[in-house]
Amino acid sequence: MKIAFFTETFLPKVDGIVTRLTKTVQHLVAAGDEVLIFCPEGAPETYMGAQVVGVPAMPLPLYPELKLALPRPAVAEALDRFKPDLVHVVNPAVLGLGGIWLAKTKAYPLVASYHTHLPKYLEHYGMGMLEPLLWELLKAAHNQARLNLCTSTAMVQELSEKGIQHTDLWQRGVDTELFQPALRSDAMRQRLLNGQSDTGKLLLYIGRLSAEKQIERIRPVLATMPDARLALVGDGPYRLQLEKIFAGTPTHFVGYLAGQELAAAYASGDAFLFPSSTETLGLVLLEAMAAGCPVVGANRGGIPDIVSDGVNGCLYEPDQEGSLAAAVERLLGDASQRAELRTNAREEAERWGWSGATEQLRGYYQRLLAKPDLQLVA
C-alpha cells in the first residue's frame, strides 16, 4: 500500500502522537508499505524509509510548541507524484484540513484519527465558551472521512455522541523492549532526586509541561506526604508557572530525557502520577507500566482502558478533593501490594506491542481499499 499521512505534529517534537506515528511508520515500512508524511517543517527529510515533506509553519500563540503549517501548492504536487492508495489525516487542524480537501478533491480514500482532546483543553486556556463551536468544526472535518480512529473506547463513545460518524478503535501500543523494569538504577534515581534524601517515595511525572496536564494537582500530595519527593521529566509552555507553584517543595525539574535514559527514569520511580483528566489515551502511562512503575491516573477519558484500579495501578476521581493524595498513599502504603502492581502493570503492557497495533491499522486500510463504497463501521 501507498499511504500519505498529514500530521500537525512530528519530529523533532516529542509527545505521544509523535511516538505513535513514528512507531506506526516504522512497522508500515517493515511490512512493505510506502509512506509519505506531510508535517510542519523541521523534521528530517526521511524517517525509517518514509519520505517526509516539511511545510513552513508558524507557532501557535497560546502554545508555541505546536506549529501550524499552511497547505500550499507544493503539497498538492508532492501528493500527485506519490499517488497514494489512501490518505490518513492525524488530528486535523490546519495542515490536516488541507489533507482532507486534497483527498476529497482527488478522490483518495480518507482515514482520520483523533489523538488530542482539544475541546477539553480550551478551559485550561480560558476559552471554555468556545467548546461547542470547536466540536462543530471537528465534526465537519472528521465526517469527511470514511473511518475515524480513536485510541480509547471512551473516545470512540464520546465522538460518536458528538455526531462524528464511522468511529472505531485503534488499539494502544508500547515499546516493551525499551521500557522494562530491569533498567531501574541507583544512578538514575539519584539524578531524579537531585541531591534530595532518598526516602523511598520518589514520585514521577513524565510528559509535556502544559496547563491541560493539570500537574499542579500533585502539589497537595507533597503537602500530605512530607517524605515524598517529586521529579518532573519533560518541558513545555507551563514550566515557569509550575516552578512557582512547586517552589519550596522537594521537586526537581529534570528536563527532557530520551531513549535509555527515559526508560531508566520510568523504572527508577516508586510511583508514576498522571493527574490529567483530558487524555484520549495516556501513552506515558503504558510506558511507565512497561517499566514496572506503579501508576496513578484519573478515572476519566482513555485512562480506565489502561489502568484497572487496585490491579495494575490506582485511579483517582478528579472532582473529589484529596482523591489523588489518597490514591498515592494507597499505592505506596503496602510494599507487597506495590510489588504485585508492578508485576501486573508489566503484564498488561506486554499485551500491547506496536506491531499488533500497526497490523490492526493495516487491516482497516485493506478493508477500506477492498470495498471503497461501503462504510466500515456504523
Which residues on adjacent β-strands are paired with residue 253? 232
Q: Using one digit for the tens of pLDDT, what is the confidence trace for 55-81?
A: 998 876 666 666 778 788 999 999 999
Averaged pLDDT in 10-residue chunks for the chain of 378 residues: 96 89 96 97 95 88 69 92 97 88 95 77 58 80 95 88 94 94 97 94 95 94 96 95 97 96 97 89 91 95 91 95 96 89 93 92 95 57
Torsion sign across C-alpha atoms 119, 64, 218, 307: positive
At 13 the pLDDT is 86
Residue-range domains of the chain with CATH: 2-173+353-370 (3.40.50.2000), 181-349 (3.40.50.2000)
Which residues on adjacent β-strands are paired with residue 110? 87
Is the separation of the CB atoms in 195 and 187 below 8 Å? Answer: no
| Type of residue found at 206 | I
At 152 the pLDDT is 84
Q: Using one digit for the tens of pLDDT, what is the confidence trace for 243-266?
A: 999 999 999 999 999 999 999 999
Q: What are phi and psi of 85, to 5 degrees?
A: -75, -30
**Helix or strand run (H / E) with residue 305:** helix 303-306
Complete DSSP assignment for 307-359: PPBTTTBEEE-TTSTTHHHHHHHHHHS-HHHHHHHHHHHHHHHTT--HHHHHH
At 310 the pLDDT is 93
Is the separation of the CB atoms in 264 and 99 below 8 Å? Answer: no
